[in-house]
Amino acid sequence: MAMKAKDSDRTWAIRVLIGEFGRQPEKELSDAQIEAIIKKLIKSERELLAAQGRDVSPFLTIMEEYLPQAVSEEEIRAWIDGNLDFSKFPNRMQAMRPIMNHFGSATDGNVVKKILLSYS
């Protein structure tokens, strides 16, 4: 589809992704493995962009589209308010485990940490 539309950025990004899939020892990859490969490519691209003094690139934008949609801070806060009792945790940061278990890869640990630090 990207080739027919002559979307060279998307075509190139897909070729890079397929190349990464081809380097894996397994012939069939799980969703978690695919997500890990995409995250690795995103991390690498962000490091490259930071070295160049840039924030965004077409490749980064395209790769982020292939990840599951991240939950918002508001959704995380709502879940925390409805499901966690901080009195059960000796330390507020220990509440991170149930939050991460609930949301899985749909959230970033740094976002959860920032939210937990904001609770007083």
Instruction: Pick the closest to residue 13 from 70, 57, 49 (CA basis).
Output: 57
pLDDT, tens only, 63-88:
999 988 888 999 999 999 999 988 89
d(CA 79, CA 73): 10
Please give the single-letter amino acid code of residue 27.
K
Output the pLDDT for position 110. Answer: 86
d(CA 31, CA 13): 19
Using alpha carbons only, give the angle 36, 83, 66 rounded to the nearest 5 degrees.
20
pLDDT band, residue 4 (cuts 50/70/90)? low
Count of C-beta atoms within a 10 Å radius of residue 67: 14
Per the CB < 8 A criterion, the answer to whether 70 and 108 are in contact is: yes
Count of C-beta atoms within a 10 Å radius of residue 108: 13
**pTM attached to this predicted model:** 0.63
**What DSSP character marks residue 69?**
P
Question: Above pLDDT 70, what percent of the chain?
Answer: 95
